[in-house]
């Protein structure tokens, strides 16, 4: 198991799917490929995260639209992240009120839910974060309403798993394996 920052970086490079020079950002890929199936692409991302969490024991730490790409073969993956940490790092108390909570596989799950929401609605989570009232609702455990006119077909099963991804309690969130299985049908 990695013990230093350089060891963690080395693991990160070796455990993330390789992005090729022909990869296209997911945000650009979807409008330019109208026959693409967003549910399959999100299933690819969820499976990638599941592998990071269960096989490689790594938390990605930066799951967001800007890091999602689609290869020339049409497979979605996440770019490597400098924010990756070992998933086996033990929980600890915060040292100060300004310190951020440690990243866990559950934070990746939560972030994945927002990435998927952006795929289905076109609304970036960062835009919601700029609205103080929206942030108050989210911090209190509120979840977004199901979009009435999603950009892509949104099944009941997918919407249900997204709601679970946003559970306020990290322990109540599904694993990325459960999420991947939902997207893969």
One-character DSSP codes across the chain: ---SHHHHHHHHHHHSPPPPTT-EEHHHHHHH-TT--HHHHHHHHHHHHHHHHHTS-EE----SGGGEEE-TTS-EEEPP-TT-EETTPPP---SSTTSPPPP-HHHHHHHHHHHHHHHHH---HHHHHT-HHHHHHHHTT--PPPPSS-SS---HHHHHHHHHHT-SSGGGSPPHHHHHHHHT-
What pLDDT does residue 127 have?
A: 83
Is the per-residue pLDDT at 129 higher than 90?
A: no
Q: Report, as an integer, the average pLDDT of 125-132.
A: 80
Tens of pLDDT, residues 134-181: 778 878 888 888 999 999 999 999 999 999 999 999 999 999 999 999
What pLDDT does residue 144 have?
A: 86
Q: Report, as an integer, the average pLDDT of 10-36.
A: 73
CB atoms within 10 A of CB 130: 9
Comparing 21 with 143, which gets the higher pLDDT?
143
Lowest mean pLDDT among 34-38, 61-65, 94-98, 108-112: 94-98
Comparing 154 with 16, which gets the higher pLDDT?
154
Tens of pLDDT, residues 69-93: 999 999 999 999 999 999 876 656 6
Name the pLDDT band for 7 (thresholds 50, 70, 90): very low
Q: Alpha-carbon distance 169 to 166, whole Å?
A: 9
What tokens were used for 93?
A: 């108390």
Name the pLDDT band for 2 (thresholds 50, 70, 90): very low
Tens of pLDDT, residues 48-67: 999 999 999 999 999 999 99
Q: Alpha-carbon distance 26 to 11, whole Å?
A: 25
Q: Alpha-carbon distance 41 to 30, whole Å?
A: 10
What pLDDT does residue 24 have?
A: 96
All structural domains of the chain: 5-86+103-175 (1.10.510.10)
pTM of the model: 0.83
Lowest mean pLDDT among 91-100, 108-117, 156-165: 91-100
């Amino acid at each position: 198991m990695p013990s230093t920052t350089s060891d963690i970086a080395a693991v990160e490079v070796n455990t993330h799917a390789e992005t090729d020079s022909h990869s296209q950002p997911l945000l650009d890929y979807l409008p330019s490929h109208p026959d693409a199936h967003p549910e399959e692409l999100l299933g690819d991302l969820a499976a990638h995260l599941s592998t990071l969490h269960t096989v490689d024991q790594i938390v990605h730490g930066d799951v967001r639209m800007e890091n999602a790409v689609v290869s020339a073969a049409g497979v979605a993956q996440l770019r490597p992240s400098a924010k990756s940490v070992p998933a086996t790092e033990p929980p600890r108390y915060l040292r100060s009120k300004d310190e951020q909570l440690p990243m866990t596989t559950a934070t990746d799950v939560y972030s994945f839910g927002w990435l998927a929401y952006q795929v289905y609605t076109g609304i970036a989570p960062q835009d919601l974060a700029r609205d103080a009232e929206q942030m108050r609702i989210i911090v209190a455990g509120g979840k977004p309403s199901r979009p009435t006119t999603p950009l892509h077909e949104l099944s009941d099963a997918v919407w249900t798993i997204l709601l679970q991804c946003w559970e306020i309690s990290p322990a109540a969130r599904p694993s990325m394996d459960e999420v991947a299985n939902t997207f893969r049908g």
